[in-house]
Structure 1
Amino acid sequence: MTSAVIRRAQPGDLPTLAALRWEFRTDGAPPVEERAAFEPRFRKEVAAALADGTWLAWVAEVDGLVVGHVYGARIAKLPNPVDEAETHLYISNLYVRPEHRGRGLAKDLLDAVLADGDEVDATILWARPGTEGLYRRYGFTASPEIMERR
């Protein structure tokens, strides 16, 4: 089996990151934007977010090709006077191309983003159907505290 490399995403990865995001989000949902418009917009916005640290990203590389990624964003909390970290970690877009699944790449990507989550109060994510088992193995549970409005 070929070994994988998990590393921080670099600016040169942006075209592949855009393609992976497209694959991830259009799997089961029809796009409302043409791919030719989406990918340049993604590259521009994500390049800025990676440059200023708003988002961090890691990629899984096999034989020199990026085949998966995950993103993490630190969310600052308001200062508080109790013993509680003042940052949350939000994990998004954990995705591995189907032909590379079953090799532990999602686990390796999750390990990488969580390793950057030291000194956070809570780590949050929205699990896609069928992925809850992976997250539960890392101690994620459904929270009675988080609410969402769409």
Structure 2
Amino acid sequence: MNIRLAEAKDIKQLIKMRWDNTIEFDESKKNESYEEFERECQRFLENALKSSQWFIWVAEDKGKIASHIYIELLQKVPRPGRVTHPFAYMTNVYTIPEYRNGGVGSKVLSTINDWIRKNEYEFVIVWPSDEAINYYKKNGYVHCTEPMEYFPS
């Protein structure tokens, strides 16, 4: 298993995995247009891979992406008296079914945790599903105070 940052050659697989992830947890979306989604996701991924804001980590097995985790870096406003480091927002965490429960996702997360420490990012924030809470806990993540939200009407 090779854990690495995603490259342009991975885009088609990443698009399909995003689609599969969505349908797995929300079957009501299966009648949406794959072609329309593919175009939008293709643009997003092309831009993300070129940016210094997004980092998409993948676990690859013989050319097949088995798992991925997306990280977006968010810059903080500088504060007097301390060096300001960005924090990371983790999203789109997914392992394809045939690779689940074998430690693949934890290996990707461990790689990211090492990368976070090495780059001195301040913290990582993730909103896990109820099913994923134990996955994060066993990898060193803890619950934090719930953030507030605003939904414009």
Q: Please state which band the TM-score falls in when normalised by the shorter chain.
A: 0.7 to 0.9
Give the 3 Å change call, closer, same or farther, for CA 111–84 of structure 1 in structure 2.
same
In structure 2, the residue matched to 1:54 is 53
TM-score between both structures, scaled by the size of structure 1: 0.88
More helix by percentage: 2
Give the 3 Å change call, closer, same or farther, for CA 33–149 of structure 1 in structure 2.
farther
In structure 2, the residue matched to 1:126 is 127
In structure 2, the residue matched to 1:25 is 22
Indicate the RMSD between aligned Cα atoms, in angstroms.
1.8
Instruction: Report if aligned partners of 1:18, 1:42 keep a CA contact under 8 Å in 2.
Output: yes
Shift of 1:46: 1.3
Structure 2 portions without partners, runs of 5+ = none
Amino acid at match of 2:54: W
In structure 2, the residue matched to 1:74 is 73
The size of the alignment, in residue pairs, is 147
TM-score between both structures, scaled by the size of structure 2: 0.86
In structure 1, the residue matched to 2:148 is 147
Instruction: Report if aligned partners of 1:85, 1:120 keep a CA contact under 8 Å in 2.
Output: no
Amino acid at match of 1:137: K
How do residues 86-125 of structure 1 correspond to structure 2 at under 5 angstroms? 86-117=85-116, 118-125=119-126
In structure 2, distance between residues paired with 1:83 and 1:139: 26
Structure 1 portions without partners, runs of 5+ = none
Identity of aligned residues (%): 27
Instruction: Report if aligned partners of 2:78, 2:84 keep a CA contact under 8 Å in 1.
Output: no
